[in-house]
Amino acid sequence: MNEGAMKSPEQVTAALNAHLQEKLERTGCTKGRLKAEFTSALLLSLSCIRTRDNKSMLIWDFDYPLQKAIRDYLEICSPQTAILQVDIDLTRETFLYTHLSKAQHEQQKQAVARDAAKEMQQRQVELKQHLAADTQPIGKPLAEKVAAALRHSSIGYSHRDYCGMGLEYREGQYHYGELWDGGMHLSRQSFDNQVSFVQWLSQQSNASLSNIHLKDAFYWGNQVITRERLEQFLQHGGA
């Protein structure tokens, strides 16, 4: 049995209060809040407001005696605690202890994860609706200009990993496909002549080119071909 385990709950509480009071007084504060979170390690912080200039402070450095007092308190008084919070008011000589058990903390984390998943799902629904709404066809005039320009250039971003969708002309064929590390390694669609490519592109829209038909929302609207990119390609010789 260690030294801390031989002490009573009243003793370890009084010892922790004394260490917290000393810490605040050395910092020049009369009020503060200790937060101790025990996960795989003990994470400690003390937020307070310095009296002389009303400056908010966040303290992370805790000497060994204070750390030991916190560990002794958790071990003796509240071994199932995941998060300990102590609100300190030296003007009233009060130390208000709040405990969150490991089970409660786990429930909170699960609730936060569920809420985050719901929020993400809602954002994806809204994104898909937004992308699906722009159904104006590219049209034949723009498609013909793009087809001609692709004979001497290509549309596609060049960087590491996924680069979105691109258009290019090589070896007598027009290609539409994903770009990875700046290159199109596999075409999603290929066209043997300009007529068939123009016919296909003219019927497309921002919606049909947005990749919302794919299951993974990562690809939805992510560096896809749009009317704006096609127009920029014609203006600047790249997209």
Res 7 pLDDT > 60 = yes
Say whether pLDDT at 5 is over 50: no
Quote the pLDDT of residue 206.
Answer: 98
Average pLDDT of the chain to the nearest whole number: 93
pLDDT value for 239: 46
Q: Give the DSSP per-residue string, 37-80.
A: EESSSEEEEEEEEETTT--EEEE----HHHHHHHHHHHHHH-TT
Going by pLDDT thresholds of 50, 70 and 90, the confidence category of residue 4 is very low
Asked if 211 and 220 count as a contact pair (C-beta separation under 8 A), the reply is: yes
- Coil, helix or strand for 197? helix
154-173 pLDDT, tens digit per residue, is: 999 999 999 999 999 999 99
pLDDT of residue 205: 98
Contact at 8 Å (CB) between 156 and 231? no
What predicted TM-score, i.e. pTM, was given to this entire model? 0.61
Please tell me the distance from the alpha carbon of residue 206 to that of residue 213, in angstroms, as a whole number: 13
pLDDT of residue 47: 95
Domain limits, the chain: 4-103, 134-236
- The proportion of the chain whose per-residue pLDDT surpasses 90, expressed as a percent, equals 82
Is the predicted pLDDT of residue 1 greater than 50, yes or no? no
pLDDT computed for residue 237 by the predictor: 64
Average the pLDDT over each of 34-43, 77-86, 121-130 and give the range with the smallest value.
Answer: 34-43
**What average pLDDT does range 120-149 have in this prediction?**
97
Q: What is the pLDDT of residues 75-119, one digit of tens each?
A: 999 888 899 999 999 999 999 999 998 888 889 889 999 999 999
The yes-or-no verdict on residue 55 having pLDDT over 50 is yes
Q: Residue 181 pLDDT more than 60?
A: yes
Q: Residue 34 pLDDT more than 60?
A: yes
The class (CATH top level) of 4-103 is alpha beta
Short-list 149, 158, 146, 133, CA closest to 221: 133
Mean pLDDT for 214-222 is 96
The one-letter amino acid code at 59 reads I
